[in-house]
């Protein structure tokens, strides 16, 4: 059914949803974005599913947007760019509104869109030693469609520490920022995930769904206008000169023209 994902459901009703492009560090391309949207709808509608665990195969959780996918958006016409940005926004929205508990199993590094994937989880557990970053501005882009969810998770004050600088941070800081509930040694990750799953299996499924919806209603509001603005901002970046140079520089393994070399002393 899926080319970029794996789904396994155990006899307890726990669905394990894995990003499965390990050779590409699970970077988000058009197919994975579409399949994640479909998977969210499928798992949300399945009454046998009680809990969803979002994980990934390979060394990385999610490296962000696939370079080839981003280059294709930048070379496309405005209508196609907007369609690509909207697909990404709708995928994040589908996971955020999933009427089942969504637990992030973050076994490796996450950058850009990978941070967005963590932010839409109800709780995320990561491994010590993993690195994280909102790295978009290094490419001349911004954390656009993931922005509403990152701000809802971190709050503005925490987000502004890392939202614009593309600074890489570790798992301990990810906990401080609110992206991770806790960090565990790699050998303790499975036990930590099971400890998050277990309480839900004693809860009424429809009550859990209603409680999650209520929490979203009472929490930081993400309006349709916010989503539309984030889509427009991503398209504007794709159309700008900075992103053209930044993404080309990344592909060519050079510094973009606007990067200032670090001073040594």
What is the structure's pLDDT at 262? 76
Closest by CA to 61, choosing from 108, 27, 97, is 108
Pairing of strands 102-106, 110-111: unpaired
- pLDDT of 265 reads 55
DSSP β-ladder status, 5-9 and 14-19? antiparallel
CA-based nearest residue to 109, from 49, 52, 180, 47: 180
**Reported pTM:** 0.95
pLDDT digits (tens, 9 = 90+) for 211-242: 999 999 999 889 999 999 999 999 999 999 99
pLDDT digit string (tens) for 147-160? 999 999 999 999 99
Other beta carbons within 10 Å of 45: 10
Across the chain, mean pLDDT equals: 95
Structure tokens at 211: 């409680």
Q: Rounded CA gap, 218 and 96, in Å? A: 15
pLDDT (mean) for 131-151: 96
CA–CA gap between residue 217 and residue 250 (Å, rounded): 40
Which domains can be identified in the chain, with CATH numbers? 1-186+205-265 (3.90.226.10)
List, for residues 76-102, the tens digit of each pLDDT value: 888 898 999 999 999 999 999 999 999
């Amino acid at each position: 059914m899926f080319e970029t994902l794996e789904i396994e459901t155990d006899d307890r009703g726990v669905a394990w949803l894995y990003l499965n492009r390990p050779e590409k560090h699970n970077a988000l391309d058009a197919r994975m974005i579409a399949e994640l949207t479909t998977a969210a709808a499928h798992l949300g509608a399945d009454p046998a599913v009680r809990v969803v665990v979002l994980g990934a195969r390979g060394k990385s959780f999610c490296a962000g947007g696939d370079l080839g996918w981003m280059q294709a958006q930048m070379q496309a016409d405005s209508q196609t760019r907007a369609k690509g940005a909207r697909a990404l926004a709708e995928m994040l929205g589908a996971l955020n509104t999933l009427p089942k508990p969504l637990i992030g199993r973050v076994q490796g590094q996450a950058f850009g869109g990978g941070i967005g994937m963590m932010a839409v989880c109800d709780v995320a557990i990561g491994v010590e030693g993993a690195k994280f970053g909102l790295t978009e501005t290094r490419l001349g882009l911004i954390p656009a469609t993931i922005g509403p969810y990152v701000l809802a998770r971190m709050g503005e004050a925490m987000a502004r520490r890392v939202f614009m600088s593309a600074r890489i941070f570790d798992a301990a800081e990810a906990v401080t920022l609110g992206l991770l509930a806790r960090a565990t040694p790699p050998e303790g990750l499975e036990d930590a995930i099971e400890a998050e799953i277990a309480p839900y299996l004693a809860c009424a499924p429809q009550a859990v769904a209603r409680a999650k919806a209520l929490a979203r209603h009472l929490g930081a509001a993400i309006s349709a206008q916010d989503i539309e603005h984030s889509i427009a901002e991503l398209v504007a970046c794709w159309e700008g000169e900075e992103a053209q140079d930044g993404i080309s520089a990344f592909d060519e393994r050079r510094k973009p023209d606007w990067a200032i070399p670090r001073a040594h002393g």
